Each structure stands twice: as structure tokens, then as C-alpha cells.
């Protein structure tokens, strides 16, 4: 039993009550709008349209669990799209909905195949991963059969160790998924904004929250443009409550803001070529009020913490800390060259690596980019109906999943030699079973630039066990063209000679590059020196240039 003013002493608020008994559908002016049966009981969605408090009256229900206010901030700092419009369907592919016991609760942003970032206050009362689910590839939350949607359970919730519920500092949480998301045009990650977040920059917030203060949630994704405000203005409007980990955005006159249900959702800023994640919806006063802009967690302040935690949760044995070294070629006394700094990789640390085999013998490597698709080098000459893709394997003497190759799609040739592209897509006869040892690798967008901020590695089976490395130093285009005169085009990537098939002893080896804890497939080995020549860089096909071709084929299945 509880009094009205114990828990319900504020107007126009949405709550969830977990009850085992409900007296009648309307009680004292509190309109019950939805009752949902779950494994743990009934969840009752109640909207308070008016306040009725008879003297000494008590509102009594039999409680099977504590009162759960899904909007976790207090009235004076409500989690808070006001003044916006319905977004184009799937135009914000990193946006997710975090649902608690099947009910929408917060927003979030995809930052890796297994990772979503959201606000810590979303999990202040309920931080048990088993109750939470991530919905990706969504536009209409009411459409349970929406094409392309992905629903994944939550394996772990990691709230920032510095989160302060009172001051709202470090309002950030990492959500690890039970299985990796499959990236496509509807579901993609977003990079973290790393440049200074200057005042007056226009950015966009997105979410399924209320479109007016105290209004109901919406079913279709909303968007609104807001302006980053100067820190001194934010502090003046919020009486000094702003912290270095926060910024505010909106309009001083109000009318553009996040609202209830948008918490943890992304504030995305355009760099000139793509959007990056600058903030997460955190707190504010009301929704879209004059002189009360929304306050956001400054994500770039927490990148070290985020990616340290993400890397710490990688699927590898805690006793295995091997990392590939820098590429090097060693010369023996007899003058023979060999690759230095090659080491056996930690078992299953490259879960997208595929062994292409014929009659049980490995002959080429490939990369899993989708549960039905493998990308490899065209010169591997994979044969449909005859060859198999072996997944989740570290030691070639022991196999995991062996899936027949159903069909081979070769990139069309333009008659040039050497060819500009050397890629084949392999469609598997049955979908791969994702696990800690089998998961796909991301394909970068066409406009993604491979520069010194990326760390790259080649992986292959030079013997019987997967090797991780070496880290490849990227050659400058001019010096590479000098080494291979007339043969290098914009669709090629040059690396240290140690990355070539002749040096590493494997065909179809990928060039995998990492930034901010996420790996992307940037290249597939194409050609190099036949005899591991220290003066000849290894050449890879630039996978990003063929993003459209890859997407068109893989989305047809």
C-alpha cells in the first residue's frame, strides 16, 4: 500500500506498475491506457490526466515488484523531440530503442557490432541486463514485423564509474549485446566526434520520445535540429549546474528539444562528409521551454573509458595477451627473406576470419561480412557447390562450422592489368551461426578515409594456425607508385611488403583496421612480389570503393 503523495504526487507523468491484481480499469481519475502481460506479471501503463485526492484516501494494489519509473530523472530534471518532424525511415541507422520488459524506455547509439552507448540514468533503477533488449533497424516501434529490424538481448550494462545521479555527471553507459548486430544500410555504427564542439554548430537529435511536454510517446522516429550553445550561456540558464562533461543545445527561446523517452539517444553532428556522435540526451527542465535547453553528455570526454571497457570485454582468453608487432622482413645469412614479428593470434580473436577449403585442404582466406556472405579475393577462384567456408576455426586441424559455398559473384573486370579490383562475394548455402568465435566484420563506407589514425593488421593461415600480424605500415601513394610504376590506382592500398601473399604464405588475406575499438575491412590482398621482395609493397583492393556493389548483393538475400 502507498499514498498518492508518496509516489504519485506530480501531474502528467508516465509510470509502470508491476501488479498482480488490478481493481478496475479506471481509478480516481488515473486512466489505465495499456496493460501488458509479461513473464514477471502485468505491466500497467498509466497516464495521469487529472489529479484527484480524496481526503485520507489510499490507492491500494498488490505489488509483485517495486514501483518502476521508466523516466528515471526527477520532475525538475526530466529526461527529455520537441519542434521536430518524422525522420525519413532508416536515415539514422545507428539509432536504437532500448526496451525494458518489452516497453520502450530509452534511446541509444550503435558504436560497434556488440556495443551500444546510452545514458547511465536509464539503468539507475533497473540495471539487470536480462530485462533489457535492443531494437536496431527500427523506424516504427508499433510495427513488430518491420523489415530489416534486429532485436538483440543485452548481455551486460556498464555504467560509467563516475556517474553521479544528483549532478548528472558522466551520464553514460555501455550496453554489450548478446550477439553482434549485422551491419547493412539499416543498421550501422557511428563514430565518436573528436573535434572541438564549437558553439553555434547545428546538430540533430533523434528519438521516439514525446513531441510535447507531458505528451505520449510517438511510434515513428522523430528528428529535430538544435544549436550548440556556449558554455557560459548554459551555465547562466542552469545556475552553474553545468559540468565539463556536459553541453547544452537547443534555442534560448525554446521550441526545439528532446523530451520524455528520448534519454540516451544520440545528438549527431555532420562533419562535412558524415555524421558523428557528439552527445547523448541526458537532462533538462521540461521540454522545449524557453531558456531551458536540453543538456547532453559530451561523449568525446569519455572515449578512453568507453573503448578501454569495450576492449576489455573482447571474446578472448584472459590469459592470452598476444598482440601483433610491427611489420618487418628479415634477411638470413644466405640472403633469403622472411617475415618478422609474426605471431600466433589469440584463439578466435578474429571471429570473422574464414578458411576456404577444397577436399579438406585450406587454399585461401576470406572474411565473413554477413551471416550469408563471405568476401575474398577473386584470384582465389572459389568454386560454387564444391568448396566450403570453414568458420570459427583457429587451428586448421580442427573445424567448427563448415558451410558449402552456394554461389560465387565476381566483381566485373574492366580489362585492365593488373585489375583494379580483385574481389569475389560468396553466398553461403545456410546462414552462419554467430557466436563468440563467429561474427561478421564491418565494411567501411565509401567515404571512409584510411589515414594514420587507424591501426591495421593482416591475418591469415601461414601454417596451420591463425597468425595475427604483422601490423602493416601503410605506404604513401607516391612512393608506392614509384615501386610499381603504372600499376597502382586509387582503388588500391599499399602496405609493407610483409603483408603480401608471397611473404605471409596465404591468399585472400584481409587488411583489417581498427579505430575507437571497432574493426573494419579495408582491403583484400590482391598482388605483390612473387618472391617476397623487400622493395615491393603489398597491394590490397580497397574494399570501401565497392561498398555499393557489396550492399546491393547482400541486401537481396
Active site residues: 121, 171, 263
Q: For residues 269 and 246, what is the distance between their CA atoms, to the nearest angstrom?
A: 16
End-to-end alpha carbon distance in the chain: 54
Query: CA-CA distance, 183 to 371, in Å (whole number)?
Result: 10
Burial class (CB in 10 A: 0-12, 13-18, 19+), 108: buried
Q: How far apart are CA 27 and CA 34, in angstroms?
A: 14
Is the bond into 418 cis (omega within 30 degrees of 0)?
A: yes
| DSSP letter, residue 375 | E
Maximum alpha-carbon separation in the chain: 100
What residues are paired with 362 via a beta bridge?
A: 357
Reference 436, options 521, 291, 314, 269; nearest CA is 314
Sheet holding 14-19, edge to edge: 14-19, 41-48, 30-38, 26-27
The closest alpha carbon to 258, from 217, 225, 288, belongs to 288
439 secondary structure, DSSP code:
-
Find the helix or strand (DSSP H, E) in which 247 lies.
Answer: strand 246-250
Mapping DSSP onto H, E and C, the string for 127-171 reads CCHHHEEEEECCCECCCCCCCCCEEEEEEEEEECCCCCCCCCCCC
Closest CA to 336 of 137, 503, 224, 223: 503
What stretches of 333-400 adopt beta strand conformation (E)?
337-340, 353-358, 361-370, 373-377, 388-391
**Residue whose C-alpha cell is 592470452:** 320
Q: Which region, left, alpha or beta, applies to residue 127 given φ > 0 means left and ψ of -120 to 50 means alpha?
A: alpha
Distance of CA 77 to the CA centre of its chain: 28
* Distance in angstroms (rounded) separating the CA atoms of residues 390 and 405: 10
Which uninterrupted H or E stretch holds 192? Answer: strand 191-192
Which residues, in sequence order, are bridge partners of residue 45? Answer: 16, 34
How would you classify the pairing of strands 103-112 and 41-48?
A: unpaired
Give the separation between CA 497 and CA 266, rounded to whole angstroms: 42
Q: What are phi and psi of 467, to 5 degrees?
A: -110, 140
Q: What angle do CA 133, 139, 144 make, to 5 degrees?
A: 60
Amino acid at each position: 500500500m502507498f499514498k498518492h503523495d508518496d509516489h504519485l504526487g506530480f501531474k502528467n507523468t508516465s509510470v509502470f506498475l508491476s501488479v498482480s491484481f488490478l481493481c478496475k480499469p479506471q481509478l480516481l481519475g488515473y486512466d489505465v491506457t495499456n496493460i501488458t502481460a509479461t513473464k514477471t506479471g502485468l505491466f500497467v501503463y498509466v497516464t495521469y490526466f487529472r489529479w484527484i485526492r480524496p481526503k485520507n484516501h489510499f490507492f491500494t494494489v498488490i505489488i509483485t515488484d517495486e514501483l518502476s519509473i521508466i523516466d528515471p530523472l526527477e520532475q525538475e530534471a526530466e529526461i527529455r523531440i520537441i519542434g521536430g518532424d518524422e525522420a525519413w525511415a532508416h536515415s539514422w541507422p545507428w539509432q536504437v530503442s532500448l526496451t525494458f520488459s518489452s516497453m520502450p524506455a530509452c534511446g541509444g547509439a550503435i558504436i560497434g557490432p556488440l556495443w551500444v552507448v546510452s545514458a547511465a540514468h536509464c539503468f539507475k533503477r533497473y540495471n539487470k541486463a536480462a530485462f533489457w533488449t535492443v531494437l536496431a533497424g527500427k523506424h516504427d516501434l508499433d510495427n513488430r514485423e518491420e523489415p530489416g529490424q534486429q532485436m538483440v538481448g543485452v548481455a551486460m550494462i556498464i555504467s560509467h564509474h563516475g556517474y553521479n545521479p544528483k549532478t548528472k555527471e558522466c551520464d553514460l553507459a555501455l550496453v554489450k549485446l548478446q550477439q553482434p548486430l549485422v551491419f547493412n544500410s539499416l543498421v550501422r555504427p557511428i563514430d565518436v566526434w573528436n573535434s572541438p564542439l564549437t558553439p553555434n554548430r547545428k546538430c540533430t537529435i533523434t528519438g521516439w520520445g514525446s513531441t510535447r511536454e507531458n505528451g505520449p510517446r510517438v511510434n515513428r522516429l522523430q528528428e529535430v535540429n538544435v544549436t550548440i550553445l556556449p558554455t557560459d550561456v548554459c551555465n547562466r540558464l542552469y545556475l552553474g549546474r553545468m559540468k565539463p562533461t556536459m553541453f547544452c543545445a537547443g534555442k534560448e527561446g525554446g521550441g526545439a528539444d528532446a523530451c520524455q523517452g528520448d534519454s540516451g539517444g544520440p545528438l549527431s553532428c555532420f562533419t562535412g562528409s558524415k555524421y558523428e556522435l557528439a552527445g547523448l540526451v541526458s537532462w533538462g527542465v521540461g521540454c522545449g521551454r524557453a531558456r531551458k535547453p536540453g543538456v547532453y553528455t559530451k561523449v568525446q570526454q569519455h572515449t578512453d573509458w568507453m573503448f578501454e571497457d569495450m576492449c576489455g570485454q573482447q571474446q578472448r582468453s584472459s590469459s592470452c595477451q598476444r598482440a601483433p608487432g610491427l611489420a618487418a622482413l628479415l634477411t638470413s645469412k644466405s640472403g633469403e627473406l622472411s617475415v618478422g614479428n609474426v605471431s600466433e593470434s589469440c584463439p578466435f580473436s578474429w571471429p570473422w576470419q574464414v578458411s576456404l577449403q577444397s577436399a579438406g585442404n585450406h587454399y585461401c582466406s576470406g572474411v565473413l561480412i554477413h551471416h550469408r556472405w563471405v568476401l575474398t579475393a577473386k584470384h582465389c577462384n572459389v568454386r560454387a557447390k564444391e568448396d566450403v567456408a570453414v568458420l570459427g576455426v583457429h587451428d586448421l586441424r580442427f573445424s567448427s562450422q563448415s558451410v558449402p559455398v552456394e554461389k560465387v559473384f565476381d566483381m566485373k573486370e574492366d580489362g585492365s592489368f593488373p585489375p583494379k579490383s580483385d574481389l569475389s562475394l560468396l553466398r553461403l548455402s545456410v546462414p552462419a551461426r554467430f557466436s563468440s568465435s563467429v561474427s561478421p566484420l564491418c565494411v567501411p563506407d565509401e567515404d571512409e578515409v584510411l589515414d594514420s589514425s587507424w591501426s591495421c593488421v593482416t591475418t591469415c593461415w601461414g601454417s596451420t594456425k591463425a597468425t595475427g600480424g604483422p601490423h602493416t605500415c601503410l605506404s604513401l601513394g607516391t612512393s608506392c607508385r614509384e615501386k610499381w610504376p603504372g600499376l597502382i590506382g586509387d582503388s588500391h592500398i599499399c602496405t609493407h611488403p610483409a603483408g603480401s601473399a608471397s611473404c605471409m604464405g596465404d591468399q585472400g588475406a584481409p587488411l583489417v583496421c581498427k579505430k575507437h575499438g571497432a574493426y573494419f575491412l579495408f582491403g583484400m590482398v590482391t598482388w605483390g612480389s612473387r618472391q617476397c621482395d623487400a622493395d615491393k609493397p603489398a597491394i590490397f583492393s580497397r574494399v570501401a570503393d565497392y561498398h555499393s556493389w557489396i550492399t546491393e548483393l547482400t541486401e537481396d538475400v
